[in-house]
């Protein structure tokens, strides 16, 4: 049984937004029994121009587009910081793909699925990117059915900023070295906006995540991202501003256009 006070509210706020704004039935079922599912969304939207809601909608549009674009080039999807992501169960492009999700809160996630009587096809595995990146992780993935030689795509959505930059690099570097990673799509908080905070709203957002015990730890510039992806061996690197997808998905830009970077990096041959 899950104790309500132990539930990660940032994780639960995402299916809340998807159920309300994206007509995602799987998300609706997940949050149905949690009356506090919207708490983080309300606080976060209040301090910063509807940030959480608009961000979840924009980044979901971005990642769905990239998954669709590359669906013929990969057979397995590896989702880092998977949380309660419903893409494997809702996107037609993922219907025939094996999907694996890593998360520090794997047990909470499995409990939430059980408690809400919801099924996911994602194989959810425990992993803390700040300490579990070594060979035991590869064994766990293989045990769950991953085939290391098969072309694999990575998505990492709404998760990098909870991890130190050096651990982000180490995680990606290890996975690229040991698996057949053909590409990845990942979002990152913009250093120019948050470190130091550009204005009061950014400052309040940082205070909010600090207060609820999930402080943001990493922020990137476009140049640093390009350098990191090149170092990881990717050849085609495209870095987009959050505003582009906020406009595409919601029709206008309410947030700072450059609040986040959305990055996709692939190997030339795909
Ligand atoms: C805001 S949620 C995003 C979840 C999901 N990607 C989505 O968009 O629906 C952030 C996720 O990062 C996970 N996380 C935080 N720190 C982590 C760590 N050190 N290692 C692995 N996962 C972590 C949390 O458990 C949570 O599921």
Task: Read off φ and ψ for residue 117, nearest 5 degrees.
Answer: 50, 45
**pLDDT tens digits, one per residue of 166-199:** 999 999 999 999 999 999 999 999 999 999 999 9
pTM: 0.96
Q: 145 alpha carbon to ligand 1 midpoint, in Å?
A: 22
Residue 79 CA: which ligand 1 atom is closest? Answer: 6
Look up tokens 């939430």; give the residue: 112
Q: Which residue has the higher pLDDT, 72 or 34?
A: 72
Q: 107 alpha carbon to ligand 1 midpoint, in Å?
A: 13
Give the model's pLDDT for residue 40.
81
Q: Please name the residue whose Cα sits nearest to atom 18 of ligand 1.
A: 128
DSSP run (H or E) holding 68: helix 51-70
Q: 232 alpha carbon to ligand 1 midpoint, in Å?
A: 22
Q: 15 alpha carbon to ligand 1 midpoint, in Å?
A: 13
DSSP conformation class of 267? -
* 20-45 mean pLDDT: 91
Strand locations in 97-196 (E)? 98-103, 123-126, 152-156, 181-189
Give CA–CA dist 53/72, Å, rounded.
31
pLDDT band at 44 (very low <50, low <70, confident <90, very high): confident
Domains of the chain (ranges, CATH numbers): 4-266 (3.40.50.150)
Give CA–CA dist 180/175, Å, rounded.
8
- CB of 10 shorter than 6 A to ligand 1: yes
Give the model's pLDDT for residue 270.
65
DSSP run (H or E) holding 248: helix 242-250
pLDDT at 47 over 60: yes
Residue 163 CA: which ligand 1 atom is closest? Answer: 19
């Amino acid at each position: 049984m899950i104790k309500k006070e132990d539930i990660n509210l940032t994780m639960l706020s995402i299916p809340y937004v998807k159920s309300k704004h994206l007509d995602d039935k799987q998300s609706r079922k997940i949050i149905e029994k949690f009356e506090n599912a919207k708490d983080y969304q309300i606080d976060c939207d209040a301090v910063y121009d509807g940030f959480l809601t608009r961000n979840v909608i924009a980044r979901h549009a971005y990642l769905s587009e990239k998954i669709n674009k590359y669906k013929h080039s990969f057979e397995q999807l590896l989702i880092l910081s998977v949380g309660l992501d419903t893409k494997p169960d809702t996107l037609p492009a993922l219907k025939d793909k094996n999907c694996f999700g890593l998360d520090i809160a794997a047990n909470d996630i499995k409990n939430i699925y059980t408690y809400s009587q919801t099924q996911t096809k994602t194989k959810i595995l425990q992993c803390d990117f700040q300490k579990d990146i070594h060979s035991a992780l590869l064994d766990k993935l293989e045990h769950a059915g991953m085939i290391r030689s098969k072309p694999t795509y990575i998505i990492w959505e709404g998760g990098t900023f909870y991890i130190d930059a050096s651990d982000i690099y180490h995680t990606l570097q290890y996975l690229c070295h040991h698996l057949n990673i053909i590409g990845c799509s990942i979002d990152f908080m913009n250093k120019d906006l948050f470190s130091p905070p550009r204005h009061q709203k950014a400052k309040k957002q940082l205070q909010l995540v600090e207060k609820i015990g999930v402080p943001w730890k990493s922020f990137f510039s476009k140049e640093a991202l390009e350098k990191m992806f090149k170092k990881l061996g990717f050849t085609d690197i495209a870095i987009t501003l959050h505003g582009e997808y906020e406009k595409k998905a919601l029709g206008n830009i309410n947030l700072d256009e450059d609040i986040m970077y959305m990055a996709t990096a692939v190997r030339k041959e795909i």
